[in-house]
Structure 1
Amino acid sequence: MTRETVSLGAFRFECGESIPELELAYESYGEFTGDNAVLVCHALTGSQHVARAGRSATDGSNGPSEALRGGMDQARAWWDDVVGAGKAIDTTERFVVCVNVPGSCYGSSGPASTDPETGEPYGTDFPAVTVADWTRAQRRLLDHLGVDRLKAVVGGSVGGMNALDWAKRYPEMVDRVVPVAAAARLDPQCVALDGVARRAITTDDDWNGGDYYGGKEPDDGLALARQIGHVMYLSKDSMERKFGRRAAGRGAARDDFPVDPAAGFFPYRDVESYLDYQARKFVERFDANSYLYLTRAMDNYDLAAGCASETDALANFEGEVLVMSFTGDWHFTTEQSESLAEAFRTAGVDVAHHVVDSDHGHDAFLVEPENVGPPLRDFLDSGVAGRAVTDTEAETGPAFAPVHASLFGD
């Protein structure tokens, strides 16, 4: 595994603003043979550290940033059960690259980075970032690495939007695209919740207009934002199964946020305790300004932007596509994924929509590698021709349907 941060010169963002030096932190796995490169795009608060690949997160001469060194959750080998030797994205056969996107806080240029013109962190003076900027920056890095064609681009959640943008922006450079638990755009309900989450950060007195570096950080606002986001990643069924309405144990903490006087009469519930725990861990590893920037990039993304339709946006792509969705995911629904698959079909693109029956919610693409890995491996090896069962057999519920058209019919 190679872990590096490279400087790639000046970069102009879609918003029209520029920075004098774009730095991108990335990890690569396996050996490049000219036609075996796979780009993996991380989700909203993930990092370039997609797999351990036999090494810890702290070894090597190019060690991780302080944020990654202390990080938890997705920041540490977030798809280790999918990427690696002998796994679905097999690093003994493929050259795998994962890049921390601009605007994030794991080594790539973002609000917490130092502005060379002032010697201080950019803060909210950092340019607004879009998913298209992520794609263009990744292309810049791949050019630096000598990769002129990709066997596949794979991404989960907003990383799936990033993968879709590759099919739209650089169709001649990609053979296969795999958006997992993604969609052509975010629906209004999720945009609304993201807006509330951002307000939780910007109304924290410690946010200070984004100029909090070196002082007290807006941890309470970021913690609340994470809790709102985390609820979007779970399903009703998974929350009922994990928590129900149970009260937390006697030793459970209740000091994460101020509480009202009546709180002493009512139980502190398991679900509250879980969200408080997740919030505490998150603020240890992520930057509040980055959360603002990245959620806005996700909310703004629209595959059809600048085109007559989604089909028009995909008209120049001549490769193959595997769309993966999960039945319990209400953040990016199976219906949204089927609409995306239909846009590819209408554009004349060979596409398969693999639907996983799951009650884990949006997090399923991270916590169910046993359901993600097999169809992904099948598709990377053989494309849509790698279907091991017919559509009819898939609908009757075999133990495993490697890649089938959809539960909607085709």
Structure 2
Amino acid sequence: MTTKNTIDLGEFQFLSGETIPSLEVAYETYGDFTGDNAVLVCHALTGSSHVARRPDAGGDTAGQARAWWGDVVGPGKAIDTSEYYVVCVNAPGSCYGTTGPSSENPETGEPYGTDFPPVTVGDWTRAQRQLLDELGVGRLHAVVGGSVGGMNVLDWLRRFPDDVDRAAAVATAARLDPQCLALDTVARRAITSDPNWNGGHYYDGPGPDDGLARARQIGHIMYLSKASMSRKFGRRSAGREAVRETPPDPAAAFFPYREVESYLDYQADKFTDRFDANSYLYMTRAMDDFDLSAGYESDADALAAFEGELLLLSFTGDWHFTVEQAEALAGACREAAVDVAHHVVESDHGHDAFLVEPEKVGPPLSELLEMGLSGRTITDTEPEPEEPESFAPVHTSLFSE
């Protein structure tokens, strides 16, 4: 059984202190609730509540708006919806059904634009908690998420530690590093320097599509590894069918239009058709702002109250959220006496691996949900002191004998 719905949570105060009179939250559920089988899935930056395939789903969306983890969540899949009651909630600030900058401000009758309050990952968590209360879900069997959705998972563990039995944070970290902060800054500047952005109030005219396109291209470069880009594109020129009537670079008429350029232009065009520029500003700001230790003495202190089990998945080709960052997070868990396992996946797909390699992501998640960590912790594969840069060997499953 699947449901797609929107619920009005009423007046909502953001962690910034600002309040809106009504927060509508879009969510989807899959499976039947039996009281102790609820699994919350947290989506990534431009994701939606549509995490798994539905018979009634239309074909008018793409990317992470369309069954973005359909090979991981569903009947008989790793997160088995015939066994678990799966809930996915669209985050406040997004543009896929939950109130955000493009939503109508009931006090003015116009879209909020940049008058919408600043949004944090903590606001996402609090809205999810309220939505689950409305659904009659108390303690979660598990909370699972990737990328900034993994930060959302970590926020659950520090904010509502008694409400989670098991957790999986995939391709994520306790905070972004300065390089990623810098790239996100350039991406946002691409939007805000577009003349059509108009201070965020562009909904009655042409939007900042060019700026949003450039921002998304920067994002895609962050999500791919050098190896995957070399394999996909090399230095090859694009075919005649890919060449545009109007060259994107007027100064490049003499030079080849390469496959990597064609890919970035194609992805940008698709993205501007499905996502809101202001939402991109708000969602990236929420990701950039997240710091697990904020308000605590350390990451370990932030996680100390969590008494459940945590699985960390990292990917060797991911330079957005690195294996080293996941290992540092695992170390904080050990310091806090949190039962943790760090599963390192050999992959050259970059950050996108958590979306495009379900065969590697699924088995550890399935076993976590079914058996927990089964007594295995990170200490089983902890690097030797004399090799601080080495990590756990790659396994099909960390929990198999």
Q: TM-score when scaled to structure 2? A: 0.94
Query: In structure 2, which of residues 261, 270, 295 is the aligned counterpart of residue 281 of structure 1?
Result: 270
Q: CA deviation at 1:57?
A: 1.6
Q: 1:116 to 1:244 in 2, by over 3 A?
A: same
- What secondary structure, in the 3-state scheme, does the structure 2 residue paired with 1:214 have? coil
- What secondary structure, in the 3-state scheme, does the structure 1 residue paired with 2:40 have? strand
Query: In structure 1, which of residues 306, 316, 320 is the aligned counterpart of residue 305 of structure 2?
Result: 316
Rounded to whole Å, the distance in 1 between the matches of 2:272 and 2:398 is 38
Amino acid paired to 1:108: T
2:169 counterpart residue number: 179
Rounded to whole Å, the distance in 2 between the matches of 1:110 and 1:44 is 14
- What secondary structure, in the 3-state scheme, does the structure 2 residue paired with 1:321 have? strand
1:110 counterpart residue number: 100
Rounded to whole Å, the distance in 1 between the matches of 2:113 and 2:339 is 44
1:297 counterpart residue number: 286
- Residue deviations 1:329-382 (CA, integer Å, cap 9, x gap): 000000000111111111111100000000000000000000000011011111
**Alignment pair present for 1:213 and 2:191:** no
1:339 counterpart residue number: 328
Amino acid paired to 1:51: A
Rounded to whole Å, the distance in 1 between the matches of 2:306 and 2:247 is 49
Rounded to whole Å, the distance in 2 between the matches of 1:29 and 1:257 is 45
- What secondary structure, in the 3-state scheme, does the structure 1 residue paired with 2:372 have? helix
Q: CA deviation at 1:186?
A: 0.4
1:65 counterpart residue number: none
Rounded to whole Å, the distance in 1 between the matches of 2:226 and 2:394 is 23
Contact 1:220 1:257 in 2 (8 A): no
2:16 counterpart residue number: 15
Q: CA deviation at 1:303?
A: 0.2
Q: How many residues align?
A: 390
2:349 counterpart residue number: 360
- What secondary structure, in the 3-state scheme, does the structure 2 residue paired with 1:279 have? helix
Rounded to whole Å, the distance in 1 between the matches of 2:119 and 2:245 is 35
Q: CA deviation at 1:189?
A: 0.2
Matches within 5 A, 1:266-277: 266-277=255-266
Rounded to whole Å, the distance in 1 between the matches of 2:71 and 2:394 is 24
Amino acid paired to 1:401: S
Gaps of 5+ in 1: 59-68, 405-410
Contact 1:378 1:403 in 2 (8 A): yes
Q: CA deviation at 1:397?
A: 5.5
2:147 counterpart residue number: 157
Q: CA deviation at 1:83?
A: 0.3
**Alignment pair present for 1:193 and 2:177:** no
Q: CA deviation at 1:252?
A: 1.1
- Residue deviations 1:90-137 (CA, integer Å, cap 9, x gap): 101100000000000000010000000011100000000000000000
Rounded to whole Å, the distance in 2 between the matches of 1:201 and 1:56 is 34
Query: In structure 2, which of residues 347, 360, 364 is the aligned counterpart of residue 375 of structure 1?
Result: 364
| CA RMSD after TM alignment | 1.8
Contact 1:132 1:162 in 2 (8 A): yes
Amino acid paired to 2:60: G
Rounded to whole Å, the distance in 2 between the matches of 1:26 and 1:256 is 41
- What secondary structure, in the 3-state scheme, does the structure 2 residue paired with 1:284 have? helix
Q: CA deviation at 1:178?
A: 0.6
Q: CA deviation at 1:391?
A: 4.5
Matches within 5 A, 1:232-271: 232-254=222-244, 258-261=248-251, 263-271=252-260
Q: TM-score when scaled to structure 1? A: 0.92
Contact 1:254 1:268 in 2 (8 A): no
Contact 2:114 2:201 in 1 (8 A): yes
- What secondary structure, in the 3-state scheme, does the structure 2 residue paired with 1:366 have? helix
Q: CA deviation at 1:177?
A: 1.0
- What secondary structure, in the 3-state scheme, does the structure 2 residue paired with 1:251 have? helix
Q: CA deviation at 1:70?
A: 3.1
Contact 1:2 1:28 in 2 (8 A): yes
Contact 2:330 2:341 in 1 (8 A): yes
Gaps of 5+ in 2: 383-390
Amino acid paired to 1:148: G
